[in-house]
Amino acid sequence: MRHKAIFLDRDGVLNHAIVRNGKPYPPASLDELSIPDDAITALQQLKKYGFLLIGATNQPDVARGTTRRQTVEAINAKLLEWLPLDEINICYHDDKDSCACRKPLPGLLTEAAKRLHIDLSSSFTIGDRWKDIEAGQRAGCKTIWLKQDYLERREPEQPANFIATSLTEAISWIFTLETVVEQQF
């Protein structure tokens, strides 16, 4: 049996990014960790609808030596405790490492798909940055750009399937699509 999944970026989607000078950063500690007000309810709705919920996050600060791996794992453990996620997959590499798991490459998504028998064409990626959207597109998922007020110039090469300003708005669009698909059969 093939499952459908929602791949969610961590910082800026599952939890609030720490924005400095218009650029998003991960929380540096559990004290800085906070989740959007609608995250629990939105994810619970997706879970009831039968989606696997999988975090997919780049954490290059570990390779750069500016964040400890234990900090990333503690934040992920807290998110797994607070939110109805199935798992969080992490790329600890920096760009120069040329790994297949660092977004915008789709490795985090395709490896989860193999392991968990996920149908990527029936799945979605929700991210707040261009790398998330391009990873989802390269994996064959529908994509939702959770638009934040970052001062980044880079946008995905191909537009996301949908642009949302909250998880609730993203989930509403997913349910609209899912209802249309069900009505066709």
How does DSSP assign 45-92, residue by residue?
Answer: HHHHTT-EEEEEEE-THHHHTSS-HHHHHHHHHHHHHHS--SEEEEE-
Q: Is 11 assigned a catalytic role? A: yes
Band (pLDDT 50/70/90 cuts) for residue 1 is: confident
Domain spans in the chain, listed from the N-terminal domain onward: 5-184
Q: What is the pLDDT of residue 149?
A: 86
Q: What is the pLDDT of residue 13?
A: 98
Q: Is 128 assigned a catalytic role? A: no
Q: Is the model's pLDDT at 73 over the cut of 70?
A: yes
Band (pLDDT 50/70/90 cuts) for residue 185 is: very low
Give the DSSP H or E segment for 39. helix 39-48
The more confidently predicted of residues 154 and 105 is: 105
- What average pLDDT does range 156-183 have in this prediction? 87
- What average pLDDT does range 81-107 have in this prediction? 95
Q: Which residues contact 157 (CB under 8 A, 6 or more apart)?
A: 134
Distances in whole angstroms, Cα of residue 146 to Cα of each of 31, 93, 133: 24, 24, 10
Considering the candidates 11, 61, 128, 132, report the single residue annotated as catalytic: 11
Tens digits of residue pLDDT in 128-151: 999 999 999 999 999 999 999 898
Q: Is the model's pLDDT at 116 over the cut of 80?
A: yes
Q: What are phi and psi of 127, to 5 degrees?
A: -145, 160
- For domain 5-184, say whether CATH 3.40.50.1000 is its number: yes
Q: What percent of the chain clears pLDDT 90, i.e. is strictly above it?
A: 84
CB 107 within 8 A of CB 116: no
Question: What tokens does 102 get?
Answer: 């660092």
Q: Is the model's pLDDT at 65 over the cut of 90?
A: no
- What average pLDDT does range 68-95 have in this prediction? 96
Considering the candidates 9, 61, 128, 132, report the single residue annotated as catalytic: 9
